[in-house]
Amino acid sequence: MTDSVQSSKSEIMLELKDVHSYYGKIHALKGLSFTVGRGEIIALIGGNGAGKTTTLRTVSMLKAPKLGEVIFKGRSINNVPPHEMVKLGMAHVPEGRRIFPRLSVRENLEIGAFTIKDRNTIEKRIQQGFEIFPRLKERQSQLGGTLSGGEQQMLAFARALMVDPELILLDEPSMGLSPLFVETIFDNIVSLNKAGKTILLVEQNALMALGIADRGYVLQTGEIVLKGSGEQLKNDESVRKKYLGED
């Protein structure tokens, strides 16, 4: 299936071509094809088990596709090891944040810069993270595990930014957060996008995700069943009933 909903941007940064992925005998992704244009926010929505997280894991090569091809910035990355993806300009913020709870905020950020050798660059990136997330600056000596859920999400986000990625994969950034923190995280996503970052967003809060997305794809059991602009999907009757909680 080709992607008939074209990117609003001229340059395609990421493309999935007929991607199939398996967990044992479970066929998790069934011929997924879509594009992400440079500078876009793309939302992937769908119910539990739809294949959203598997899609991000496949893009970042944590789960290499069984069939099909993932193309990033014009080159196939099917055989690229996951740790090399960072050097290519991709950062993955996984579901559940996965910070280092026994390390301080600053130490977590330093680990995020593992590909950078220059200490001045590392410090500059840390300070940039503190500008985006001022609360982290206040807590830079605090252990990651003692932060609130929202603060841990900010830390996971800031850690991903340490490598100055071109494409950021975000998996359920609002999960378990208070409404205030959800608003803050989505404001940060929009700000980063305006600053030039491309975002591929997986999010259960479909209303928030589609509200900021240029385009979106609805996944169901590993297949794309609907696609369109964020506004089109937000106003689609089937999406409103199934994913936005409307009768």
Secondary structure in 3-state letters for 184-222: HHHHHHHHHHHCCCEEEEECCCHHHHHHHCCEEEEEECC
Contact present, 97 and 155 (Cβ < 8 Å):
yes
- Cα–Cα distance list, 110 to 105, 117, 174 (Å): 9, 11, 24
In a domain, 103, yes or no: yes
Q: Residue 167, Cα to own-chain centre: how many angstroms?
A: 8
CATH code for the domain in which residue 122 is found: 3.40.50.300
Q: Tokens 């807590």, residue?
A: 139
Residue 9's pLDDT is what? Answer: 57
Q: Are 201 and 189 in contact (CB under 8 A)?
A: yes
User: What gap in Å lies between CA 230 and CA 221, rounded to an integer?
Assistant: 21
If one counts the domains in the chain, the total is: 1
| Residue 178 is assigned to a structural domain of this protein | yes
Q: Would you say residue 78 lies in a domain? A: no
pLDDT (0 to 100) of residue 6: 55
Burial of 242 (0-12, 13-18, 19+ CB in 10 A): middle
Query: Looking at the domain assignment, is residue 104 inside a domain?
Result: yes
Q: Which two tokens stand for residue 129?
A: 């993270």
pLDDT at 181: 85
For residues 115-153, one letter each, b for 16 or more C-beta atoms within 10 angstroms of the residue's C-beta and e for the rest, the string is ebeeeeebeebbeebbebbebbeebeeebbeebeebbbb
Are residues 7 and 216 in contact, defined by beta-carbon separation less than 8 angstroms?
Answer: no
Give the pLDDT of residue 175: 86
Phi-psi region of 165 (alpha: psi -120 to 50; beta: other; left: phi over 0): beta
In a domain, 34, yes or no: no
Indicate yes or no: pTM above 0.75.
yes
Cα radius of gyration (the chain): 18
C-alpha–C-alpha distance, residues 101 and 199, integer Å: 26
Domain contains 1:
no
Domain that holds residue 229: 41-59+89-242
pLDDT at residue 4 in the model: 46
Residue 75 placed within a domain: no
pLDDT tens over the chain, length 247 residues: 445 455 555 699 999 999 999 999 999 999 999 999 999 999 999 998 999 999 999 999 999 999 999 999 999 999 999 989 999 999 999 887 789 999 999 999 999 998 898 999 999 999 999 999 999 999 999 999 999 988 998 899 999 999 999 999 999 998 888 888 889 889 999 999 999 999 999 998 899 999 999 999 999 999 999 999 999 999 998 898 888 766 5
DSSP class per residue in 48-86: TTSSHHHHHHHHTTSS--SEEEEEETTEE-TTS-HHHHH
pLDDT at 180: 84
Measured between alpha carbons, how far is 143 from 152 in angstroms, rounded to an integer? 10
CB-based contact 98:156 (threshold 8 Å): yes
Is residue 74 assigned to a domain? Answer: no
Name the DSSP letter for residue 142: S
